[in-house]
């Protein structure tokens, strides 16, 4: 996961740090951490960390990470002969 800070002003996000080149389109999640949404008149406190927890449930990310690590380890072992 890549996190880049920015400033939201009048409907636009100005990035503080340059985004590295990434091929193709990627889905992103924009989270406003400094203040709650103004449009919510439900009176609910929005906790962005709690909202993000479980948002990728069912995508088997842990298994994908472990498989990717295994592939990296196999590549390194074949490269260096260990």
- Residue 81's pLDDT is what? 74
Q: Rounded to two decimals, what is the model's pTM? A: 0.37
Query: Residue 12's beta-bridge partner residues?
Result: 9
CB contact at 8 A, 46 and 40: yes
- Could you tell me the end-to-end alpha-carbon distance of the chain, in angstroms, rounded to an integer? 30
- Integer Cα distance of 42 and 22 in angstroms: 38
In 1-82, alpha helices (H): 48-52, 61-80
Structure tokens at 66: 């472990």
Q: In this model, does residue 71 exceed pLDDT 90?
A: yes
- Residue 56's pLDDT is what? 79
């Amino acid at each position: 996961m890549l996190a880049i800070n920015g400033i939201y002003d009048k409907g636009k996000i100005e990035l503080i740090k340059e985004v590295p080149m990434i091929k193709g389109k990627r889905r992103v999640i924009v989270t406003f951490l400094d203040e709650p949404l103004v449009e919510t008149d439900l009176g609910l406190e929005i906790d962005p960390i709690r909202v993000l927890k479980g948002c990728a449930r069912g995508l088997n990310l842990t298994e994908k990470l472990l498989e990717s690590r295994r592939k990296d380890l196999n590549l390194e072992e074949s490269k260096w002969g260990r």
